[in-house]
Amino acid sequence: MDYLSDIQAFLPGVITAVAGLVVITVEALKSGHKSVFWITALSVLAALFFAIQDLGAPMMEAFSGMLVYGGSAAFGNVIILTGTLFCIFLSSDYLEGINHAYSEVYAMILFATSGMLCLAGSNDLISLFIGLETMSICLYVMAGLIKEEKTGAEGALKYFLLGAFSTGFLLYGIALLYGATGTTNLPAIGAAASGDLLFVAGAALLLIGFLFKISAVPFHMWTPDVYQATPTTLTAYMATASKAATFVAMILVLSRALPTVEGLDWQNVLVVVAILTMVFGNIIALVQDNVKRMLAYSSIAHAGYALVGLATGTFEGYNAVLFYLFAYTLMNVGAFGVVAYYERNKGLDFSDVNNLAGLGFKQPIMGIMLSIFLFSLAGIPPFVGFVGKYYVFAAAVNAEMITLAVIGVLASAASVYYYLRVMVYLYFREAHKETELFSPTLLYKGALVILAVLTIYYGVEPVLPLDGIMDTLNSFVGTALPVR
């Protein structure tokens, strides 16, 4: 009965994992069967339904303290599954258009999502490592999907090698923390936290592994090449769902396992990394002509904004990060979705901003939706991106980190240039070559319209079930959560 209770606690992850096995079985019996897409979409939708049921519930432990559910983990699951669902809707039409509609892709998405859900609910370094690697291995495969092109093979190889390198840091960090504390349980590590060299070195190596996964500077070098080489809708999945899972895991680790002790203040480290990430990401994005590389450097800058919330070390800051991840998922999946629509059309490389000239009038609906997503990414009201940045920077101000908040605001202001530059080409430049544009399916257009509506709605009414979610995080050192 305890196992049944544990399975119920991790039901979204179980659903996605079982669905992945079903997809593999169906593919083995009949290659390329259309039911694979619907099995994937419906299973993720069911997992999202059960994840929403846990919103507002107190955080509790399952699987003998290896995982937690409810609280921040529940909201993290909702963000991950929301991003996954929309990426699946967009991938069906896009992958068929580029002749890479392999059923195995959907299995990889389901297994990666299961790993992300495990990562976001980890209460132990062992489950954290299992979730992180399950997610990463699937992402390595998806990054090399277009293997016949040089950029695809190069991006996948670079991602795999650097990912394996970062895993080494993570494992060494876990080993050192275990040696320093005698446990891998997060609250127990927090109770035994100290300023000795073994603990500090382990914590530092663990954070390096996390910073690689969220593309923080100086661990970001893989990001633009991998984002450019990966099929665009899968890039959206990689940039949103995986990043959300890693940030939620970081919240649990920082609040429960790495408290501030005498002579050891992780907030100062995160402040420096956040500044470097915001500034560098935005500066390099200013000179990008390739839209996917621009969005890649933009995602680096957005990781910096989220790090501002983590650097505060307060519940308000963690709340702000959760909302920001939700906002980032909506607007970034939408932006990549419109770019993927343009890429699906043959004749021109529409990832080059110069080839977007005049398309705002030729395809007005797509032009308007791309403008909405880019305005939101720039942090312009009344879109959800503005509210997300406001919450993050307000948390920094309330934590008396005025300088960090000011740098964040200035970096965000600089980003307006490269976002608006895309719209200048859409509406203020004449098309220099006629191209036949395909009409997307109703599912594709519907997914983008819903994302655009949500981007506007949560910018005007930023009401999410956040009250009480982070209050139940229970970050007091050594305090155990109740077991279901």
CB 265 within 8 A of CB 232: no
Distance CA 307, CA 363 (A): 37
Question: What is the 8-class DSSP label of residue 273?
Answer: H
User: Which single residue is written with the structure tokens 């382990």?
Assistant: 202
The torsion angles phi and psi of 32, rounded to 5 degrees, stand at 75, 20
332: tokens are 């970034």
Helix (H, G, I), strand (E, B) or coil at 286: coil
Write the burial class of residue 442 (CB in 10 Å: 0-12 exposed, 13-18 middle, 19+ buried).
Answer: exposed
Return the number of other C-beta atoms located less than 10 Å from residue 99's C-beta. Answer: 8
Single out the residue of 17, 8, 12, 131 nearest to residue 78, CA to CA. 12
**Would you tell me the crossing angle of helices 266-285 and 197-213 to the nearest 10 degrees?**
30
pTM across the whole model = 0.91
Write the burial class of residue 428 (CB in 10 Å: 0-12 exposed, 13-18 middle, 19+ buried).
Answer: exposed
Predicted pLDDT at 433: 64
Distance CA 269, CA 258 (A): 13
How many Å is the Cα radius of gyration of the chain? 21
Write the burial class of residue 25 (CB in 10 Å: 0-12 exposed, 13-18 middle, 19+ buried).
Answer: exposed
Distance CA 144, CA 150 (A): 10
Q: What are the structural domain ranges in the chain?
A: 1-260, 265-464
Helix (H, G, I), strand (E, B) or coil at 14: helix
pLDDT one digit per residue (tens) for the chain, 484 residues: 477 888 888 899 999 999 999 999 998 887 766 789 999 999 999 999 999 888 877 888 888 888 888 877 888 999 999 999 999 999 888 888 777 778 789 999 999 999 999 999 999 999 999 999 999 999 998 888 877 777 778 888 888 888 888 889 999 999 999 999 999 999 899 888 887 888 989 999 999 999 999 989 888 888 888 888 888 899 999 999 999 999 999 999 988 888 766 556 788 889 999 999 999 999 999 988 888 899 999 999 999 999 999 998 888 888 899 999 999 999 999 999 998 888 877 656 677 788 888 888 888 888 899 999 999 999 998 999 999 999 999 999 999 999 999 999 999 999 999 999 998 888 888 776 666 666 778 898 999 999 999 999 998 887 654 444 444 344 333 334 443 4
